[in-house]
Amino acid sequence: MLGWAVVFLIVAIIAAIFGFFGIAAAAAGIAKILFVIFIILFLVSLVGGLMRRT
């Protein structure tokens, strides 16, 4: 999932360089959402792993 967030971030940067600001904003928004989902899933798995060890 982090890989997809990076891909959308790169697409947003390239689109912004070429002047496609609508596409850049959409791709940046998708990248932000995927990154937040990745962080949430990472924290849940981290807490779940710590709970399982005890």
**Cα–Cα–Cα angle for 2, 19, 14, nearest 5°?**
30
The total number of residues written for the chain in this structure: 54
Q: What is the pTM of this model?
A: 0.76
Please state the domain extents for the chain: 2-53
pLDDT higher than 80, residue 31 = yes
What is the CB neighbour count within 10 angstroms for residue 24? Answer: 18
The pLDDT of 25-37, averaged and rounded, is 92
SS3 state of residue 54: coil
C-alpha distance from residue 33 to each of 11, 13, 19, 21 (Å): 15, 16, 23, 18
pLDDT higher than 90, residue 36 = yes
